[in-house]
Amino acid sequence: MGDYQVTNVQQDALGAVQLELGNPNALALRRPFDPLAHDLEPSFRLTRFADLKGRGCKVPQEVLNKLVEGLQQDYNNAAEHEHAHFMHMAIPRIGIGLDCSVTPLRHGGLCLVQTTDFFYPLVDDPYMMGKIACANVLSDLYAMGVTECDNMLMLLGVSTKMTEKERDVVIPLIMRGFKDSALEAGTTVTGGQTVVNPWCTIGGVASTVCQPNEYIVPDNAVVGDVLVLTKPLGTQVAVNAHQWLDQPERWNRIKLVVSEEDVRKAYHRAMDSMARLNRIASRLMHKYNAHGATDVTGFGLLGHAQTLASHQKNEVSFVIHNLPVIAKMAAVAKACGNMFQLLQGHSAETSGGLLICLPREQAAAYCKDIEKQEGYQAWIIGIVEKGNRTARIIDKPRVIEVPAKE
Amino acid sequence: MGDYQVTNVQQDALGAVQLELGNPNALALRRPFDPLAHDLEPSFRLTRFADLKGRGCKVPQEVLNKLVEGLQQDYNNAAEHEHAHFMHMAIPRIGIGLDCSVTPLRHGGLCLVQTTDFFYPLVDDPYMMGKIACANVLSDLYAMGVTECDNMLMLLGVSTKMTEKERDVVIPLIMRGFKDSALEAGTTVTGGQTVVNPWCTIGGVASTVCQPNEYIVPDNAVVGDVLVLTKPLGTQVAVNAHQWLDQPERWNRIKLVVSEEDVRKAYHRAMDSMARLNRIASRLMHKYNAHGATDVTGFGLLGHAQTLASHQKNEVSFVIHNLPVIAKMAAVAKACGNMFQLLQGHSAETSGGLLICLPREQAAAYCKDIEKQEGYQAWIIGIVEKGNRTARIIDKPRVIEVPAKE
């Protein structure tokens, strides 16, 4: 029997959660998470329940490629033989580096589009952590232009190191954040799985059944397109810098380039950004005829740009000139030497923005439209030129400092 | 961007894996996993990469109920308001203790049926571990009479404690086992997520889009039905006893009631049983007009029987008289005092059998048919009588010793 499905229990209100939430529709009014208000130790930090943070937990790309080789080979064989009917679909080859898996169904031209992701706490506010995890899972659908999610499942690992008290406070808040984000996305969480695990784990599955015209196969970039990015970089730098406020020896390494206040602002900007859905960004991809997109997560801007480039039908390459970064985080990254490789495009992001190939004449309108609808900027960060399906960042990219919202 | 989707890599063969697999269609011919053949230490044990085993990792039922209360309340509110159209479906209320989530789709009467599960290694053979994990995920679909799976995703946690060498041997074998089991089930693995984690983790997501007549809502038991179980109990006892062969102080507690040979046989019977798909059992539910079913996993036979009973439309209760148990494991469980609570119905199972409510006159034919098709016995273990939607095991249940297959 599955672990839990949403069942018909007679409520009841979770006092502490209610306290925390205030008006769930007015995020700005939310009080920040205060361990004391929940009878937890003031030193309680959700991020201490895992040794890796957010999408920094990914198995490195090259290791993963090696590990899945066996699978892929067989799959290719199967695709050539039993599943040759896939070739009649609009999908050139199923799953080639797509953000989602796309499975043709037995039922009248429909496809099942699915994605899954899970990771470790990277912010200390459990409710926000739940929202970020949900936004991050949905982001893979949005990257493919799929704006409707039919169903979500939640995957939770409760840390073996949590006290009962901590567990009873933190886990419902995470669940609530996840669910609120799903509601905001117009979908629901109908089930999932919860286990105990040394590290706290949070993630989910997002699924949609749709017609082929509802998604955008990300392989259609042409020379002359421009690259748009819809969220600033630097989330991993910001959450680390914030954690270092408690760690003098770490803090000393960066305090010459950044103030405490700067770090707190950057952290809130990062939380805000990671919790924001890429749904409108996705919807506008249809309006402005996007040629393909991906979302920027664990492999960093350049890693994902390279993957996207490698799957293009045309002989194109991506060149990135501009790096929008959460204010001051470029300086912090530089002060940390090679640790983040932010300006080299390798810093992991969590629930990052969409990186979109747009026709040159549409890109400015796309950026204007998203800002009008959401109040957040998007940036033209590069171009698509003739090439051999690679991506690079120019030698001295322009860093765009993106301030925290006031 | 999603972690990996199946991509078009130019092979190549995983030498060690090939060695291990022999003819993948002839399981009986498979050599058991030998760490030395892979250049691993002879003491290598996959089960050491987690402190909990298999479905023993579940968060206790009562804790979970408390944690998800908040979610459920909101869901009920939503169900009454926005989602009132659900009530027009054949589904009395979405997700009432179902093994899967069932989501009505925007497209012509179709539903998305989904389930997810993940857990920790409980056998030392990585290939078999992959097969068991896959069979276990699919089992939730089968419990609802859904025999076709449209798509699977794989969830993997690579232990931080594995050496590179161990990782490169073990993870491809797990993946291969998972994938082979999916192929056997007539489905494919098109994507997933891989992270590093202190404990090794393996699981997945199974999804199907189907018409309402393709699944069986498990709430229709009537007085006079009988309960059928399609796999023996005792998997958790068997895998523990097997691990104790290496631990003299543990082994001493049970060696009076069981021989080494018995334990090895029981372990192989358990592996075989856990890796077996419940698909034919599920198909026959339709043929013999089952009134509902669940699969027996982490909460033990009685836990799942109680959940199933609690969701019945009619005023019925389940009474269990017979306990089919892998040979000698009842004695081992007794010798361990209260550790397993096997005969009380609380011992966790992994990828256990289906517990099915069948019309009395059909049950014997069901059992005969499954044995004819698969060569495995099923057992009538109890009855449905008038009652208040509970389940119990009688005072001195009959233990049926189920021998290992030769």
Residue B406 and residue B398: Cα distance in Å, rounded? 24
β-strand pairing of B201-210 with A379-386: unpaired
Cβ-Cβ contacts under 8 Å, A292 against chain B: none
DSSP-derived 3-state class of residue A3: coil
Chain A, residues 125-154, CB within 8 A of chain B, namely: 140, 143, 148, 150-151, 153
Cβ neighbours of residue B374 closer than 8 Å, sequence gap 6 or more: B276, B280
DSSP-derived 3-state class of residue A217: coil
Mean pLDDT of A331-356: 95
- pLDDT value at B61 more than 70: no
| Long-range pairs for B28-37: beta carbons < 8 A, 24 or more residues apart | B30/B127, B32/B125, B33/B124, B33/B125, B33/B126, B33/B127, B33/B128, B33/B173
Q: Which has more pLDDT, A24 or B320?
A: B320
- Confirm if B225 and B190 have CB atoms less than 8 A apart: no
- pLDDT value at A46 more than 50: yes
Residue A30 and residue A14: Cα distance in Å, rounded? 17
- Confirm if A347 and A135 have CB atoms less than 8 A apart: no
Which of A10-19, A148-157, B376-385 comes out lowest in average pLDDT?
Answer: A10-19
- pLDDT value at A18 more than 50: no
The residues pairing with A158 across neighbouring beta strands, listed in sequence order, are: A196
- % of chain B at pLDDT higher than 70: 81
Is A1's CB within 8 Å of B94's CB?
no
Q: Which of A243, A272, A275, A273 has its CA nearest to residue A260? A: A243
β-strand pairing of B101-104 with B111-119: antiparallel
Chain A, residues 90-129, CB within 8 A of chain B, namely: 93-103, 105-108, 110, 112, 114-119
User: What pLDDT score was predicted for residue A100?
Assistant: 85
- Count helices and strands in chain B by DSSP H and E runs: 11, 12
- % of chain B at pLDDT higher than 90: 64
Query: Which of A58, A76, A191 shows the shortest C-beta gap to B95?
Result: A191
Is A115's CB within 8 Å of B191's CB?
yes
- Which pLDDT band holds residue B57 (cuts at 50, 70, 90)? low
User: What pLDDT score was predicted for residue B64?
Assistant: 67
User: What pLDDT score was predicted for residue A377?
Assistant: 96
Enzyme catalytic residues of B? 57
- What is the per-residue burial (b if ≥16 Cβ within 10 Å, else e) of A157-170? bbbbebeeebbbbb
pLDDT digits (tens, 9 = 90+) for B198-227: 889 999 999 999 998 999 999 999 999 999
User: What pLDDT score was predicted for residue A55?
Assistant: 58
User: What pLDDT score was predicted for residue B232?
Assistant: 98
pLDDT digits (tens, 9 = 90+) for B263-285: 999 999 999 999 999 999 999 99
Q: Which has more pLDDT, B98 or A138?
A: A138
- pLDDT value at A28 more than 50: no
User: What pLDDT score was predicted for residue B67?
Assistant: 66
- pLDDT value at A371 more than 80: yes
User: What pLDDT score was predicted for residue A191?
Assistant: 85
Q: Write phi, then psi, for A158 (nearest 5 degrees).
A: -90, 125
pLDDT digits (tens, 9 = 90+) for B65-119: 666 665 554 444 433 332 322 222 223 233 445 678 888 888 878 999 999 988 8
Residue B400 has which token pair?
């049926």
User: What pLDDT score was predicted for residue A13?
Assistant: 27
For every residue of A101-170, which 3-state class applies, written as one string?
Answer: EEEECCCCCCEEEEEEEEEECCCCCHHHHHHHHHHHHHHHHHHCCCCCCCEEEEEEEEECCCCHHHHHHH
Residue A283 and residue A24: Cα distance in Å, rounded? 24
- Residue pointed to by tokens 């959700």: A46
| Mean pLDDT taken over chain A | 84
DSSP-derived 3-state class of residue B192: strand
pLDDT digits (tens, 9 = 90+) for A51-91: 776 656 666 666 666 666 655 544 444 333 323 222 222 23
Residue A27 and residue A294: Cα distance in Å, rounded? 27
Asked if A356 is an interface residue toward chain B (Cβ–Cβ < 8 A), one would say: no
pLDDT digits (tens, 9 = 90+) for A164-204: 999 999 999 999 999 999 999 999 998 888 888 888 999 99
* Most distant CA atoms of chain A, gap in Å: 62
- Confirm if B204 and B178 have CB atoms less than 8 A apart: yes
Q: Which pTM was predicted?
A: 0.82
Q: Which has more pLDDT, A331 or B64?
A: A331
User: What pLDDT score was predicted for residue B151?
Assistant: 94
Cβ neighbours of residue B117 closer than 8 Å, sequence gap 6 or more: A2, A3, A193, B136, B137, B140, B203, B204, B297
- Which pLDDT band holds residue B135 (cuts at 50, 70, 90)? very high
Asked if ipTM goes beyond 0.90, one says no
Nearest chain B residue to A96 by CA: give it. Answer: B7
Chain B, residues 287-306, CB within 8 A of chain A, namely: 294-299, 304
Residue B381 and residue B352: Cα distance in Å, rounded? 15
User: What pLDDT score was predicted for residue A86?
Assistant: 28
Residue B368 and residue A10: Cα distance in Å, rounded? 43
- Confirm if B216 and B357 have CB atoms less than 8 A apart: no
- Confirm if B2 and A115 have CB atoms less than 8 A apart: yes
- Residue pointed to by tokens 């990300």: A218
| Mean pLDDT taken over chain B | 84
DSSP-derived 3-state class of residue B374: helix
Residue B357 and residue B370: Cα distance in Å, rounded? 15
Residue A188 and residue A204: Cα distance in Å, rounded? 12
User: What pLDDT score was predicted for residue A57?
Assistant: 60
User: What pLDDT score was predicted for residue A61?
Assistant: 65
- pLDDT value at A253 more than 60: yes
Which of A25-29, B185-189, B313-317 comes out lowest in average pLDDT?
Answer: A25-29
Cβ neighbours of residue A300 closer than 8 Å, sequence gap 6 or more: A341, A345, A346, A347, A348, A349
DSSP-derived 3-state class of residue B104: strand
User: What pLDDT score was predicted for residue A287?
Assistant: 97
